[in-house]
Amino acid sequence: MNAAGIRQKIAFTILGLITLLVVAPIVLIIYYVISRGWSAMSWEFLTAAPRNGMKEGGIFPAIVGTVLLIVGTMLFSLPVGILSAVYLVEYAKDNLFTRLIKLSVVNLSGIPSIVYGLFGFTLFVVFLGFGTSILAGSLTLAIMSLPVIITATKEALEAVPMTYREISLSLGATRWQTVRYCVLPYAIPGILTGTVLSLSRAAGETAPILFTVAAFYLPRLPRSVFDQVMALPYHLYVISTQVPNMPAKLSFATGLVLIGLVCLMNLVSIVLRAHYRKKKQW
């Protein structure tokens, strides 16, 4: 082997080792959380409220809170996200308004989550008077989720062949009919995948819900959208930093449930993607 070949071999080995350095901790962290948290996992842990300063009992209210927040976020972000992507792909002309929307999407995606938290607090909690509530938290998370949903929907719409639109328009369909019957049905898989992914991000976020919805300790379930709720990520933050002498296994188990929930949603999105890819006809 010549010198260049040897150098290549060394370089590739180094690249491989660095990659190992990246992925090994991922596997280790997951393993660590599972192995330490599994012992505390039980039916009671998943279905009971916390007791005794959160050092005993379960995390049921936090699970419910997080699920409610996911649903609320979806209700707000899905219509706005999909419709604005439809605007960008199907309606927009190349003008200032369109460029501003695109720039806004880019910038929304870069705004720190804590700034969303501040904004949600000052607009929804204080200015609009929703108080610290599911409504305020969901709206905050929804705005934060918009860029991912818009980007995913845009890509899904752009992947639908131009000819479908051409056929529909040439038959005298209106623009909306064309979108409704010949574009959206074929973009739905991509839209769903992106949506689930963005919701899984929202489910794991702590900073935006700190001042908009999250309750430190609230062992009952909410009665309306104006109630506070506990949420899994915030609960994990609280018990790992604010509660002295917290049994570590409960923290690990909470982390495990949170990772499990997020991974489950990711899995759903992967399965959806695979399922529709098989059925794809074009």
What is the footprint of other proteins within residues 123-182 (CB under 8 A)?
Answer: 123, 126-127, 143, 146, 150, 163-177, 181-182
Q: Pick the closer one to other proteins by CB: 52 or 241.
A: 241
> Among the candidate windows 41-49, 57-65, 118-126, 221-229, which touches other proteins by CB under 8 A?
118-126
For the bound state, the minimum distance from the C-beta of residue 44 to other proteins, rounded and expressed in Å, comes to: 22
Site for other proteins in 249-278 (CB under 8 A): 251, 255, 258-259, 262-263, 266
- 198-237 residues in contact with other proteins (CB under 8 A) are 200-201, 203-207, 210-211, 233-234, 236-237
In a 13 Å sphere around the CA of 88, the CA atoms on its Cβ side amount to 25
| Ramachandran class of 214: left when φ > 0, alpha when ψ lies in -120 to 50, beta otherwise | beta
Q: Are strands 50-51 and 56-57 parallel, antiparallel or unpaired?
A: antiparallel
Cross-strand pairs, 229: 214
Q: Is 246 in the site for other proteins (CB under 8 A)?
A: no
In contact, 150 and 81? CB cutoff 8 Å:
yes
Going residue by residue from 21 to 60, which x/- string records binding to other proteins, judged by CB under 8 A?
Answer: xxx-xxx-xx-xx---------------------------
Torsion sign, CA atoms 27, 28, 34, 35: positive
What CA–CA distance (Å, rounded) separates 234 from 277?
A: 36
As measured in angstroms, the least distance from the Cβ of 256 to other proteins is 9
SS3 for 247? coil
- A 10 A CB-CB count for 247 gives 14
Our CB check for other proteins shows the closer of 7 and 220 to be: 7
